[in-house]
Amino acid sequence: MRLSEIELRRVRLPLVVPFRTALETETHREVLLVQVRGPEADGWGECAALTTPHYSPETLAGAHEALRDTLIPLIDPDHVSVEEVDRAMAPVTGHPMAKAALESAIWDAELRNAGRSLADRLGATRTRVPAGVAVGMMDSIPELLDAVGAYLDLGYLRVKLKIQPGWDLAPVQAVRQQFGDVPLQVDANMAYSAADRGHLGGFDEFDLLMIEQPLARDDLEGHAKLAREIQTPICLDESITSTEAAVTAIELGACSVINIKPGRVGGLLEAVRLHDFCVNNGIPAWCGGMLESGIGRATNLALAALPGFTLVGDLSASSRYFNQDITPPFELDSGHIAVPTGPGIGVEPMGDILEQMTISTELIEL
């Protein structure tokens, strides 16, 4: 496949309600879109990096710079394929979300050219995936209960509560008491330390599916100690930056569940390798989200349709986050979201809406 130019586009999408985690409070989602263009086909990818270096060291501005100055110049425009670009980017240290965005755009263009869907190419076994919802921290427990009840009424099949010290056991207890045996898990986003291990044991009485990333991303030994002391399964997110990192975490006993995000591990190729590792070793896995627009959501849905994703993930309907997405919205149907079946990722931005939400564009000729 040949490419002639690549456009980097910054887009700002207001959130329906502010989303509070232990890392930050977001009132909007700013995303970086990558569009590759050539004589055979165009393709779209989305960078999952945040504007601040809280979730990971990579920021949206840093990813933009890495794409423009380092990654895109590695492309041979006359011989472009996912595998070739992956090999070209491999020597570059870091920048997994920038790499994933470029790789995703090339996946989309390559498969559009072939008339084949991303889900089919990855080996999807489902036409729709079960939808869970992540609920941010709120000002009061009654406000939280109202929000959770509304999401359950919509049909979401699993609830994840964001937690941090001071907002943890009491809200979880309230949700469990109010909604009974609803599938429930919590996500700490690295908010606790080794000194909190005894406190974290308090979650055991609530029969949670898991506690996600309670300690720092590099504290695998601390997670392993915690796993030996509590009954609630530990899931790692920020710590799992590659399949090799997952192997180490499992060998140490640092977790028993893995959250897979293509952006965090450097792209779909590595995400599929991580999925296969989980399948081959009987490790429960699920597909996480990063408040993506419809471009990133379509990519994640294709991945989440693979057979190794045995747990309900975070891929909610578009309306969970945005009144207006840049693509036609993904909708909830009996607790599930349909996997796109069209060529490539199966969706593309709506031109007028995209232009309205665009902050800046940069065109790079190859």
Could you give the CA distance from residue 49 to residue 207 in angstroms, rounded to a whole number? 32
99, 160, 162, 225: the active-site residue: 162
Amino acid identity of residue 250, one-letter, is: I
**How far apart, in whole angstroms, are the C-alpha atoms of residue 336 and residue 317?**
9
Q: What's the CA gap between 305 and 324, in Å, rounded?
A: 25
362: part of which helix (H) or strand (E)? strand 358-365
Q: How many CB atoms lie within 10 A of CB 102?
A: 31
Could you tell me which of 30, 29, 23 has the C-alpha nearest to residue 360?
Answer: 30
Q: Which two structure tokens, joined as six digits, stand for 51?
A: 């504007």
CA 304 to CA 257: how far, in whole Å?
Answer: 15
Query: What is the distance between the alpha carbons of residues 236 and 187, in angstroms, rounded to a whole number?
Result: 10
Structure tokens at 128: 């729709």
d(CA 257, CA 39): 43
- The residues, any chain, with a CB within 8 Å of residue 220's CB and separated by 6 or more, are 239, 248, 249, 252, 254
Provide the greatest CA pair distance for the chain: 61
Which residues, in sequence order, are CB contacts of 137 under 8 Å at separation 6+? Answer: 20, 21, 22, 162, 163, 164, 167, 171
Q: Is 162 a catalytic residue?
A: yes
Question: Of 99, 160, 225, 261, which residue is the catalytic one?
Answer: 261
Rounded to whole angstroms, how far apart are CA atoms 163 and 183?
16
- Count of Cβ atoms closer than 10 Å to residue 359 Cβ: 11
- How would you write 25-91 as a 3-class SS string? EEEEEEEEEEEEECCCCCEEEEECCECCCCCCCCEHHHHHHHHHHHHHHHCCCCCCCHHHHHHHHCC
Give catalytic residues, as residue numbers. 162, 261
